[in-house]
Structures are given as C-alpha cells and as structure tokens.
Structure 1
Amino acid sequence: MAVSNSYCFRPPKVISRCTLFKSSYALNNGCHNVVCFIKRSDRQVNLEEKVGLLLDNIKWDDKGLTVAIAQNIDTGAVLMQGFTNRDALLTTISSRKATFYSRSRSALWTKGETSMNFINVSDIFLDCDRDSIIYLGKPDGPTCHTGSETCYYTSVYDVLNNPQVEENKLALTTLYSLESTISQRKNEISFSQNGKPSWTKRLLLDEKLLCSKIREEADELCRTLEENEDKLRTSSEAADLLYHAMVLLANRGVKVEEVLQILRQRFSQSGIEEKRSRKS
C-alpha cells in the first residue's frame, strides 16, 4: 500500500494543546526518539492510530529491520538500498527525507545529512508481503558517495566479458539509454569524423532537417488515428516522433528528466489551471 500525502504529518508551528507521539521502538530502546507534535483533535488522534497500525503491519525481521530502496520518481532509477526500522520509517513519513537505519553504527541516518544531497520523498510503497519498502522521491544531487548518480553502476555482464575494464555504467531504462546514445553522438560532433555521419549527427547538425522530421513524424502519428491503422503502426510512429523529439531536446541541452518533472508537477492541476499558470 502507498502512504498517501494525506497520511503524512508535519510539526505544526503552533504547539499549544499538543500531545507528544513517540514511536514504540524509541520508547522501548531509549535512543533516537522520534517526537512529533500533533495538535489534539479527533482527526489527528485517528492519524496516530493509522500510522501505528501501518508500522505494526510491516514484517520487521528479528532485529526490527526491513529493506528500504530509494527510487528516482522521474527517471525510475534505483538510487540506493539500505535498511529501515520503525523510527527511520516514521522519520521519513514526517520529514519527507529518505531516512535509514545504520546497522554498523546502530543509529538512524538521513541520506544527505552530510553531503546535503537529500532524497526528497514524494511517496512510500510497501510490497505485497510487507517486508520491503520503496522511497519514491527526487534526489538533490548524486546519491552514491563516489559521486555517481546512483549506487548501481557496475554491469555484471560487462565484468564477465572484460574483468579488466572498470566502467561507471548506470543502470538505464530504455528511454534513458536512448538519451545517453544521443548525448554521445552530440559529443562526437566536435571531433573530426571520417565517412558519412550517422542520422542522429545529421539531425543535430541541421536544425531545419530536425524540425521538418518532427513535423513529419507528428503528422504520421495523427494519421494512424485518422485512418484507423493498427496498434503496431501507431507504436512505430510514436517511437519515431519520440526519438526525433529527444534529439531536439539534446540539441537544446534539455534532459528528459526535466520534461518528466514538469509533467509530474502538473498531475495535481486541471488543464485549465495549467494553461492559466503559463500565461502568468
């Protein structure tokens, strides 16, 4: 189950007539107490009960821990994996900063507390067995201590094929693999090339050609609807349009992640509100 935004609470500015809520783990162990001031009301007392019930229904191991995975909400990239306990999860819900439990230090730690590269949590998901958690959020910067975007940058198959080669190869999904290839072609343009340039390089070098192809592919995609063509044809034309649009993004120095972030920000807006905000 996902913990919706309405279930997440934050300390109010006014704390008069408030009650202290501490996680049972903190009370029993006397360390890293997570104290949240919750204004006394039927709704918030009910919220305490819901959070407590949620924590009670997670299958913690014999040490009170479970796996927590941080995932980029826009790219889908798996950023890192750690462990969480009741207090760490409660802190994440309250602060919206991905927080874990360090087994080596026996202490809570929030990703970014030293580097300032926090992972800002938008939602939290539990798996079907309630024994692992996903923090779905937006990182402020590189997640890995090495400076890499994620902690997952070593391909097993690359290592097996060539153990001598050490590469920083991110685990990219299809869309981002394409973006990476287009970016590589763009970087190669500055070097002298022998032979005929690739189609991607031609598009990057000729803006008029690129724009004409985008208009052409958009028209062909619309025709699949107007002429009731089959799904495969629609998928093919959509792929062509998406590819050429991504070449334009690369030409303009815009990342796909930036586009997806704007789309995500529009989720809570109606189309009328979104258009009105553009004019302002």
Structure 2
Amino acid sequence: MTSSAVSIMAHSARSLPGVVAIDHKVETSLDSVKWDSNGLAVAIAQNVDTGAILMQGFANKEALAATISTRKATFYSHSRSSLWTKGETSVNFINVHDIFLDCDHDSAIYLGKPDGPTCHTGAETYYFSSIYDALQGSKPNQDRQVVITLYSLEDTINRHKEEIVTEGSGKTSWTIKLLLDNHLLCSKICEEAGELVQTLHGNEDKTRAASEMADLLYHAMVLLSVMDVKMEEVLEVLRKRFSQSGIVEKASRKKS
C-alpha cells in the first residue's frame, strides 16, 4: 500500500462514511478485510520504535482508506457516527509508517510514530493501568509505559538514577556505581565489548555470545542514561537508516 496508489479526494478524515472516494487499488485491498456486521474492524495503533500499544479503536473502510492516504491514524467514532483522526484536536497525531492486517484480515495495526502523548491524561499510551499492580495495591501510574524488555531495563536504570537525586549516593547498587563513575562505566563497556568479540574469535557457543551481548547492552544503556539519551532515540536513528544503503548513510554523517 503505497501513497502513490492512493487517492482520497475532497473530504477530510472527519467526513461521513460513504463520501470518501477511494482509489481502485486501495478498494481492492480493503475488500480483503473481513468487516464485521457493522462494517468495522479493530484498529490498533502501535509505536513503531518502542513497540508500545498506544490505543485501540475501530475502523471502517473509509477510515482505513483515509489512514492509507493521509498517513495519520484514523478511526470510526461510534459516538459521533463519523470518522476521526487521532490528534485532530490535540495535534498529537500518530504518523503511520505501515499498516498490517492479521492472518484472518479482521483487525489492523497502525504502526506509527506519535507526535506527543496519545492519551488525554497526558500519558504516552492509553494502557498504563496494570492489573498485577492493582492486585498488589499499587495505584495506576500514567508515566508508566507498556514496556517490552528493552524499555523495562531502561526504566529500571532510570529509577536508580532518580534514587541518586532523591536519596543521595548512600544507597549502593552496581547500576548506581556505574552512574556515578564515568571511568568505571566506560572501562566496563570496553571490557564487555572485548568479551563479546572473543566469543566469535574463540568459537564459543551462542549462549555465551547472548550472555556477553546482554552485558554489553546493559552497560551501554547505563551510558545512555548518563547522557540523557532514550533508547527510543537510538531506535529512531536505526529505523531512518533502513531505507538507505550503509555507504550512503555513512557518507551523510560526514557531511553533517
């Protein structure tokens, strides 16, 4: 589904169903979707970099067509009986990079990059209320992300960083020691990189390589925390390089 194959004319994403003109190629693709009895399918918005589920809604054929055309996550609103684009009021659009249908073609994922908080509460995602936390008596925390393993590690490192600010350096842990000592941190990164390389030179088994890579990644993420760099920023750089050859990308870095 490329933008060149799309032509939605004359009306915005807020138009009433039935008034959006859809390109023939897009029409054919949308006909493969198994719409329910109300002409709807589940549409899930997911952060292209973090993997976090941002929100879930419903889309009809016109909403999905509008999303393809505008590359802004668009849904069908039951309460308004019309299409609505996420961010049309708050300006926190979800900029869609790709759209995936499940194997049954009855739900879609809008894989995109949000311009700001997705939830009206100011949270990054609608989903910040953990049932397991509630069972343990914890209150919902809208600053909490729906995290994959990488972001859970980043969150743990940053919580240690906050402990230094709130409690001073009296509380000790390996992460805190690294956060407080740049020389130690840098030497450990060099050490772990060397040990990872040695797994190849020494023809060691893959579990050893995975273990050394985990050590290197952890220490590198502590460095990122020291420098206030988020993993999301790193992954965004990687994503932007996908469409370039390595030679072209490297040459562009020398010019900037």
Q: TM-score range by the shorter chain?
A: over 0.9
**Equivalent residue for 1:267, pick from 237, 242, 256:** 242
CA RMSD of aligned residues (A): 2.0
Number of matched pairs: 251
d(CA) in 1 for partners of 2:248, 2:140: 49
- CA 1:79–1:196 in 2, change beyond 3 Å: closer, same or farther? closer
Partner deviation per Cα, 1:44-73 (whole Å, 9 max, x = no partner): xxxx33211111111111111110000000
Q: Are 1:78 and 2:75 counterparts?
A: no
| Distance of 1:49 and 1:9 partners within structure 2 | 8
1:167 maps to 141
Q: How far apart, CA to CA, are the structure 2 residues paired with 1:21 and 1:109?
A: 16
**1:91–1:99 Cα contact (<8 Å) kept:** yes
Kindly report which structure 2 residues correspond to 1:89-108, keeping only aligned pairs within 5 A, or say none. 89-108=64-83
Q: Is the 8 A contact 1:121 1:138 kept in 2?
A: yes
Q: Which deviations, in whole Å up to 9, do the C-alpha atoms of 1:200-231 show, x marking residues without a partner?
A: 11111100000000000000000000000001
Q: For residues 203 and 8 of structure 1, do their structure 2 counterparts lie closer, same or farther at Cα, with a shift above 3 Å needed?
A: farther
Structure-2 residue corresponding to 1:33 = 19
Aligned in 2, Cα 1:56/1:229: closer, same or farther, shift over 3 Å? same
- Aligned residue number for residue 63 of structure 2: 88
Matches within 5 A, 1:11-50: 31=17, 33-35=19-21, 48-50=23-25
Check whether the contact 1:66–1:133 (CA below 8 A) recurs between aligned residues: yes
What amino acid sits opposite 2:25 in the alignment? K
8 Å CA contact 1:10–1:95 kept in 2: the answer is no
Tell me whether 1:223 sits opposite 2:198 in the alignment: yes
> In the superposition, relative to structure 1, how do residues 255 and 155 fare at CA in structure 2: closer, same or farther (>3 Å)?
same
- For the residues of structure 2 that align with 1:247 and 1:135, how far apart are their CA atoms? 31
Distance 1:31 1:53 in 2: 18
1:256 matched to 2:253: no
Tell me, which stretches of 5 or more residues in structure 1 are unaligned?
A: 12-19, 37-47
> Deviation at 1:247?
0.2
3-state SS in 2 of match to 1:122: strand
Match of 1:183 among 158, 162, 167: 158
Contact between 1:143 and 1:150, CA under 8 Å: does it hold in 2?
yes
CA distance in 2, matches of 1:242, 1:227: 21
Name the residue aligned to 1:9: 6
TM-score (norm 2): 0.92
CA–CA distance in structure 2, aligned partners of residues 83 and 222 of structure 1: 48
Find the structure with the greater CA-based Rg. Answer: 1
What residue ranges of structure 2 are gaps of 5+ in the alignment? none
Which secondary structure state, in structure 2, belongs to the residue aligned with residue 177 of structure 1?
helix
| Equivalent-residue separation in structure 1 for 2:119 and 2:140 (angstroms) | 17
